[in-house]
Amino acid sequence: MDHQRHYIWKVFFLVMSMCLMIGCYGLNTYGKLEVELGHRGKITIEDLVENWSTYDVYYAGLSVKNPSAIMFDPGRNNRKLVNDKWIAVRNKSELISLVRWMNANINFPPDLMCILGPNTHLYGYIYSAWSHVLIIAIDERTLWVDDLPFPPIDNSSGGGFVGV
């Protein structure tokens, strides 16, 4: 009987170990945003605008006059950002307008954030007041970035806000 109980405990720990490994496997499939504080070679939104032609640039939001975020994909590295609803920025003047509109929102000032993969490699940048977005690893070189359709809104009349 003691041998049988010992066997049951071994099987139990084996099954639990396998469940933990399977459960933790899925944790390595998400990317994240991290505020650009200079630890990756200080870059600013002005740098990105000035060198905009070296990036694939997209924006999310209701319009050029009401953006939620601007995304910069270096495009020339071996990593790629993909999306299905972000809108391609057509020229530098459109990008300047997007940045100005985002900077005009004094209630929700934007931050420049690094887009990092599950392996913490840099994939690109997002300029936004939102501090989160769903980022999923498609493969070891590709991240899918979800849409951010609405900018944060100050709903002072309703006694609260919808925001970051």
pLDDT of 23 over the 50 cut? no
Q: Please state the rounded mean pLDDT for residues 47-59.
A: 96
Residue 82's pLDDT is 94
Q: How far is CA 13 from the centre of its chain?
A: 37
pLDDT band at 130; cut points 50, 70, 90: very high
Residue with tokens 């600013």: 44
**pLDDT value, residue 77:** 77
pTM: 0.77
| Range among 2-6, 22-26, 63-67 rated most confident | 63-67
Q: Report d(CA 136, CA 126) in Å as an integer.
A: 15
Summarised one tens digit per residue, pLDDT across range 24-38 is: 445 569 999 998 876
pLDDT at residue 152, rounded to an integer: 80
Arithmetic mean of pLDDT, 10-25: 52
Answer yes or no: are the C-beta atoms of 155 and 161 closer than 8 Å: yes
Using pLDDT thresholds of 50, 70 and 90, give the confidence band for residue 120: confident
